[in-house]
Amino acid sequence: MDLGLIIGSLPALARGAAMTLFVSLTAIALGLVLGMLLSFARMSENRWLSAAARFYISALRGIPILVLLLMVFYLLPAVGLEAPPLVAAIAALTLNTAAFQAEIYRGGFAVIPPGQIEAARVLGLGETRIKTRILIPQVIWLVTPALVNEIIVLLKNSSLVSVIAVTELMRVSQQLVSKTYKPTEVYLAACLLYVLMNLCLSALGSRLRRRIGGASAGGRP
Amino acid sequence: MTHLLPRRLAVPLAACLLAVCCLAAAHARADLLDDVKKKGEIVIGTEAAFPPFEFVEDGKIVGYSADLLELVMKDLPGVKVRRLDIPWQGILPGLAAGKFDYIVTSVTATKERSERYALSLPIADATVALLVKADSAIKTPDDAAGKTVASQTGSAQLQALKGLDEKLKSAGKGLGQIREYVGFDEAYADLAAGRVDAVAQSFPNLADAVKKRPDTFRIITPPFGPKVYFSWAARKDADSKSLAAFFDAGLKKLNESGKMKELQVKWFGFEMPVPADALPEPVQ
């Protein structure tokens, strides 16, 4: 075990980890918006809208991320759309996580007592305000544990984006291995960095949940 | 005769095809080299896990090809190089899909590739040899009969290895098993761990592996494969023609001036003369 090699590789690995975080968190944030819209579409009374959302969710959950990445990267130019590697990577991860997040949010909305919505309507609140002021804040609080789970899954899945020329933690590790011919040390260091990132994210998630919970204490079921 | 397509499908399909053609036509311009000059940027695909040709040090792609590329690009002042690192399996498909303007990575010149891509003048010798553990009983390529030998998926080295297998089979006993890896590093790691008995890879790369870990690895000389060369690659179309010619002119100049030999000594520790005027017709 060559500890000096691990320490010497840390700056390069840290740069890779920064790219990993950037790609995954951007995809999660975009996926939050798209996933929320999808879950509304899925729950919509419009039959076509609901069917379309259901189709998207089933289809995208069924495509392996590696296949989706290669499709976005290689098929888009065939129809005249040019996506640089970073954009293609974020797009593919977003498309994937949106499908999973949509189902997470749908689960969240399902547990809010319908009485709240009826009460809000009686008080004269519009549908949009009911969504933005009553439903979404509660749902986000309710689904934080599931969402943190999804972030962790996506962060790990982001190790695949190296196949379309995004140099994140995994690719940096491979580069280091091919330079040093020492896979054990390098992959061990990469492994520790992934675990460390995920521990931080999950701690952040718990804090966030406590904060949202604290801010609207009393209103919690 | 039956119709291959029902009529109600044929019309929308034709419309789609037409739309794609129009899009393609909208993309056409003077030519790729002009485009690169105008944009001031060239996008180059590289598998930066192939030392000492191309690998990463301190976040930068360095190596023999990086030095060659830098010298060639001096003739295209003002053009910035954007060099993307991508696993080998994505290199040629990425070039074909227009993801890169040019490929600067060690592409072994094969018959099949030279039919599909515009391969450059040779940059190095790519003849394949076997790498074994320092204490291995394998002394000649023929000793590999019955053993497990590794190489990279989709590589010309794998083709050469299959050739060796055929040859050994016709002499009585073929290789025990051929194992394919995504990159050569995994193959080297498994060789060191004793999971495979040998790795088939081009001679210059093996020289580097042995230089870095002399107590672990040993090369079986002489190389077993037919004489082949490493090249760079462009798309084989009218659009890429002048760009491919630009790189060929640059490589020719470096080869004739002796600069290429100098860089070979710097990165490999030995010279390997390669033809300066044309890529020899690949034999396999």
Instruction: Please say whether the beta carbons of A91 and A76 come within 8 A.
Output: no
Alpha-carbon gap, residue B61 to B48, rounded angstroms: 7
| Chain-chain contact of A180 with B48 (C-beta, under 8 angstroms) | no
Q: Find chain B residues with C-beta within 8 A of A80's C-beta.
A: 20, 23-24, 26-27
Residue A68's nearest CA partner among A157, A155, A173 is A157
The confidence score (pLDDT) of residue A156 equals 95
Q: Is the peptide bond before A84 cis (omega within 30 degrees of 0)?
A: no
| Subunit contact B58:A12, Cβ cutoff 8 A | yes
* CA-closest candidate to residue B123, choices B223, B264, B222: B264
Is B57 an 8 Å CB contact of chain A?
yes
What is the Cα–Cα distance from B43 to B83, expressed in whole angstroms? Answer: 6
CATH topology of domain B32-125+228-268: D-Maltodextrin-Binding Protein; domain 2 (3.40.190)
Q: Are B135 and B183 in contact (CB under 8 A)?
A: no
CATH architecture, range A3-215: Orthogonal Bundle (1.10)
Q: Angle at the Cα of A61 (from A56 to A65), degrees rounded to 5? A: 115
Are residues A185 and A10 in contact, defined by beta-carbon separation less than 8 angstroms?
no
Give the 3-state secondary structure of A102-129.
HHHHHHHHHCCCHHHHHHHHHCCCCHHH
Res A217: pLDDT: 45
**For each successive 10 residues of chain B (284 residues), what is the average pLDDT?**
48 52 55 94 95 91 96 96 93 92 96 95 95 94 95 93 94 94 92 95 92 91 88 96 97 96 93 92 82
Chain B residue with the nearest C-alpha to that of A76: B97
C-alpha distance from residue B19 to each of B7, B86, B188 (Å): 19, 31, 48
**pLDDT class of A3 with cuts at 50, 70, 90:** confident
- Cβ-contact A119, A53 below 8 angstroms: no
The phi, psi pair for B132, rounded to 5°, reads: -130, 170
Going by pLDDT thresholds of 50, 70 and 90, the confidence category of residue A219 is very low
d(CA A129, CA A116): 13
In this structure, how many other beta carbons lie within 10 angstroms of the beta carbon of residue B216? 16
Residue A112 pLDDT > 60, yes or no? yes
CA A172 – CA A157 distance, rounded (Å)? 16
Nearest Cα of chain A lies from the Cα of B154 at a distance, in angstroms, of 15
Q: What's the pLDDT at A218?
A: 43
- Tell if the CB–CB gap between B86 and A164 is shorter than 8 Å: yes
DSSP state of A82: -
Say whether A44 sits in a helix, a strand or coil.
Answer: coil
Q: How far apart are alpha carbons B182 and A183 in whole angstroms?
A: 14
CA distances from B147 to B11, B105, B136, B202, B209 (A): 57, 30, 11, 19, 21
Interface of A with B (CB under 8 A): 12, 15, 73-74, 77-80, 85, 162-165, 167, 171-172, 174-181, 183
- Cβ–Cβ contact B93 with A under 8 A: yes
The mean pLDDT of chain A is: 91
Please state, in angstroms and as integers, the Cα–Cα distance from residue B119 to each residue in A215, B67, B103, B271, following that order.
65, 19, 9, 22
CB-based contact, B23 to chain A, within 8 Å: yes
One-letter amino acid of B27: H
Contacts B184 to A, Cβ<8 Å? 178
* pLDDT tens, position by position, A133-184: 999 999 988 999 999 999 999 999 999 999 998 999 999 999 999 888 888 8
CA dist., res. B107 & res. B86, Å (int) = 14
State what percent of residues in chain A have pLDDT above 90.
Answer: 76
B48 interfaces chain A, CB cutoff of 8 Å = yes
Angle, CA B126 vertex, CA B122 and CA B132 arms, to 5°: 165
What is the pLDDT at residue B23? 52
Interface test with B, best of A169, A179, A187 (most B CBs within 10 A): A179
The CATH number, out of the four listed (3.40.50.1360, 3.40.190.10, 1.10.1060.10, 3.40.50.2000), of the domain defined by the range B128-220: 3.40.190.10
CB contacts, 8 Å: B90 with chain A: 163-165
Higher pLDDT residue, B164 or A220?
A: B164
Q: What is the pLDDT of residue B19?
A: 54
Question: Exposure of A65 by Cβ count < 10 A (0-12 exposed, 13-18 middle, 19+ buried)?
Answer: buried
CB B138 within 8 A of CB B197: yes
pLDDT for A15 equals 94
Question: Would the CB atoms of A180 and B90 count as touching at under 8 Å?
Answer: no
| One-letter amino acid for residue A23 of the chain | V
Cβ-contact A176, A2 below 8 angstroms: no
Whether B32-125+228-268 and B128-220 share one fold: the answer is yes
Distance between CA atoms of B243 and A179, rounded to whole angstroms? 31
Instruction: Dump the DSSP string for chain B.
Output: ---SS-HHHHHHHHHHHHHHHHHHHHH--S-HHHHHHHHTEEEEEE--EETTTEEEETTEEESHHHHHHHHHHTTSTTPEEEEEE--GGGHHHHHHTTS-SEEEEEEE--HHHHHHEEE-S--EE--EEEEEETT-S--SGGGGBTSEEEEETT-HHHHHHHHHHHHHHHTT--BSEEEEESSHHHHHHHHHTTSSSEEEEEHHHHHHHHHH-TTTEEEESS--SPP-EEEEEEESSGGGHHHHHHHHHHHHHHHHHTHHHHHHHHHHSS-----SS-PPPP--
Asked if B99 and A163 come within 8 Å (Cβ–Cβ), the reply is: no
Determine what percent of chain A is predicted with pLDDT higher than 70: 96
Q: How far is A38 from chain B (nearest CA, A)?
A: 29
Q: Under an 8 A CB cutoff, do B55 and A178 touch? A: yes
Domain ranges of chain B: 32-125+228-268, 128-220
Percent of chain B with pLDDT strictly greater than 70: 90
Count, residues in chain B: 284
Taking the mean position of all CA atoms in its chain, how far away is CA A70?
19
Cβ of A172 and B56 within 8 Å? yes
**Subunit contact B185:A74, Cβ cutoff 8 A:** no
Single out the residue of B148, B131, B119 nearest to residue B236, CA to CA: B119
Report the alpha-carbon distance of residue A178 to residue B208 in Å, rounded.
11
Which of B198, B193, B206, B207 lies closest to B175 in space, CA to CA?
B198
Provide the 3-class DSSP secondary structure of residue A45: coil
Residue-range domain boundaries for chain A: 3-215
Q: What does the buried/exposed string (b/e) look like for A148-166 if buried means 16 or more CB atoms within 10 Å of the residue's CB? A: bebbbbbbebbbbbbbbbb
* Partner-chain contact A174 B185, CB within 8 Å: yes
pLDDT at site A52: 97
* pLDDT at residue B114 in the model: 94
- Nearest chain A Cα distance for residue B43, angstroms: 10
Residues with Cβ within 8 Å of B195's Cβ and at least 6 positions away in sequence, in order, are: B148
pLDDT of residue B20: 53
Cα dihedral: A63, A68, A71, A73 (round 10): 180
DSSP-derived letter for residue A214 is H
Which of B20, B44, B46, B86 to mutate: most A Cβ within 10 Å? B86
